Amino acid sequence: MHFEYQIEGGNFTRAGFASSEIKKMMKQLNVDLGIIKRTVVATYEAEVNVVAHAYSGTIYVDFDEEKVVIKLVDEGPGIDDINQAMTEGYSTASSTVREMGFGAGMGLPNMKKNADDLQITSEVGKGTTVIITMFFAKSEQ
Amino acid sequence: MTVKQIVEILDAKVICGQDNLNHLLDIAFASDLMSDVLTLKDDNVLLITGLANMQTIRTAEMSDIHCIVFARNKKVSPEMEELARENNMVVLECRYSVFKTCGLLYQAGVSAIF
């Protein structure tokens, strides 16, 4: 199964729509509730990041029997130093983002904690791609 | 403790979720930072917050939180209410500060997560 969602940079009213749809699909597929929660928390953090930092983005969701792969591709400023961005507390978020309850430098570390596999690639001035992979078999987390 | 008891203790206004007032809640978390809420592993948590926007409801949805208290007299917008209804959440408005809200619930036996 393949699905795609568009994300609009700066549109906080809609941030979370795609994550919500993914959650509904996973519930229909009877995936373990703990795995659903880790998936949607990681995806939502990633979705908020696109809204907070990029101009636009697309989420590609691919389900197969054993896993879901969620790929978020954005057009935006990119991340200069991914290791630094992964550091808890490091943030470049605007005051608007902070007013929404985010921007404390916790998003990327929390995505890593929740995802079974997390891949981030970025090109400054072009954009960032985040790939979250979640397996449906119960993991230790 | 039931949501109904929480409503009484806080003298809160029920915005939506009237059908779920018998739902049981024993642990609570207070935060205006949604990033912190998203790190919680527990389910069935009562969220106490002074941050009233769409992302508060979205964060609750992703975190499997079914009951939110908006303290400090914060108001729930029609869009927030609609999204909360879609997710069968109980949403309460309370005129007390977050500190007082937490104090009253803690005194009544609601536990902290950590």
pLDDT digit string (tens) for B97-113? 999 999 999 999 999 99
**Cα angle vertex B46, ends B43, B50, to 5°?**
130
Residue A104 domain boundaries: 2-135
Tell whether A90 is within 8 A of chain B (Cβ).
Answer: no
Which residue is closest to A114 within chain B, CA to CA? Answer: B39
CB < 8 Å to B62, chain A: 16, 19-20, 23, 37, 40-41, 44
Banded model confidence at residue B43, pLDDT cuts 50, 70, 90: confident
Straight-line distance from the first to the last Cα atom of chain B, in angstroms, rounded to the nearest whole number: 19
Which residue from A131, A123, A133, A132 is spatially nearest to A54, judged by alpha carbons? A123
Most B-contacting residue of A41, A70, A134, A141 (CB-CB within 10 A), to test interface:
A41
CATH code (residue A131): 3.30.565.10
- Structural domain for B79, as ranges: 3-112
State the first-to-last Cα distance of chain A, in angstroms, to the nearest integer. 26
Element (H, E) at B51: none
Look-up: residue for tokens 């230790």?
A140
Q: Based on the structure, what is the number of domains in chain B?
A: 1
Tally of structural domains, chain A: 1
Percent of chain B with pLDDT over 90: 98
Which residues are bridge partners to B67 per DSSP? B46, B90
Tokens describing residue A89: 């507390």
Q: What's the alpha-carbon Rg for chain B, to the nearest Å?
A: 12
pLDDT of residue B94: 98
- The CATH number of residue B45's host domain is 3.40.1390.20
Q: What mean pLDDT do residues A10-15 have?
A: 92
> Tokens standing for A94?
């605007």
Structure tokens, B62:
């992703």
pLDDT in tens, A25-47: 999 999 999 999 999 999 999 99
Q: Give me the pLDDT at residue A138, please.
A: 64
Domain assignment of residue A140, yes or no = no
Question: In this predicted model, what pLDDT tens digit does every residue of B67-86 receive, in sequence order?
Answer: 999 999 999 999 999 999 99
Q: Please state the pTM of the whole predicted model.
A: 0.94
Determine, yes or no, domain membership for A141: no
